[in-house]
Amino acid sequence: MTIELVNITKSYRTLHGVHSVYRDFNLRIEKGDSIGVIGHNGAGKSTLLRLISGAEKPDAGEIRRGMSVSWPLAFTGFFQLDLTGTHNAMFAARLYRRDPRKVVAFVREYSGLGKFMDWPVKGYSTGMRAKLGFALSIGIRFDCLLIDEVLSVGDVGFREKAAQAIEELRRDRCVVMVTHNLKEVIRMCNRVVLIRAGMAPTVSDNVKGTVKRFYYEMTGKPADEELGA
């Protein structure tokens, strides 16, 4: 089972003209991968997740999905904001042909949202939406989980629970995560995609070396002490 991005080109029209995000970009994602996506703000990290999920289409190129893919966690466009957490979970379960009762029961327990599952999602904090989305993705059991900064929101207990779940997912599925937490990338990922404004993305198996180089570019300081690398 794989996901392949083949010669992907993506750009946006802005007030200042056309902004090119990707040009002839290639990436292969395989079962067991845990891929960290790092880089400059606004360079295209979240765009990559939306392309992989199908939430956005490339201008050119092809995306071949040989496994089921989650929506990008933290991508609030998936949720029906006027519906409760429970009804959103039921909707997602039916959409992906899962048992709604089992999915709702799992999400309620795993997320720890309790009574807030019966509140409209539009009243949720960022952390609560992250808990709902993460629990729902785990409950539906996608082959590939797309995570956008989930490890930076919510309480400490939730972040630790999410990190443990990601470690376990690597055994039989794959994870692609956008994060600014470079320590977590070194600890949890076997590959890394470095995206910098105005430059072609770098895809590397040398996670520690790539992260250390990016940290030095951003701060002008060696990464060894700060990242424990």
Share of the chain above pLDDT 90, in %: 44
* pLDDT reported for residue 200: 85
Does some domain include residue 125?
no
Q: What average pLDDT does the chain have? A: 86
* pLDDT reported for residue 104: 95
Entry pTM? 0.84
* pLDDT reported for residue 198: 76
Does some domain include residue 27?
yes
Does some domain include residue 192?
yes
- Structure-token pair, residue 130: 């992250």
Does some domain include residue 130?
no
pLDDT-flagged residues of the chain (< 70): 73-77, 150-155, 225-229
Give residue 190's identity as a one-letter amino acid code.
N
Distance CA 159, CA 228 (A): 20
Can you say whether the dihedral through the CA atoms of 56, 62, 63, 66 is positive or negative? positive
* pLDDT reported for residue 152: 60
Q: What is the number of domains present in the chain?
A: 1
* pLDDT reported for residue 101: 95
* pLDDT reported for residue 188: 86
Q: Which domain holds residue 191?
A: 1-70+145-153+173-229
Does some domain include residue 88?
no
Does some domain include residue 14?
yes
**CATH at residue 207:** 3.40.50.300
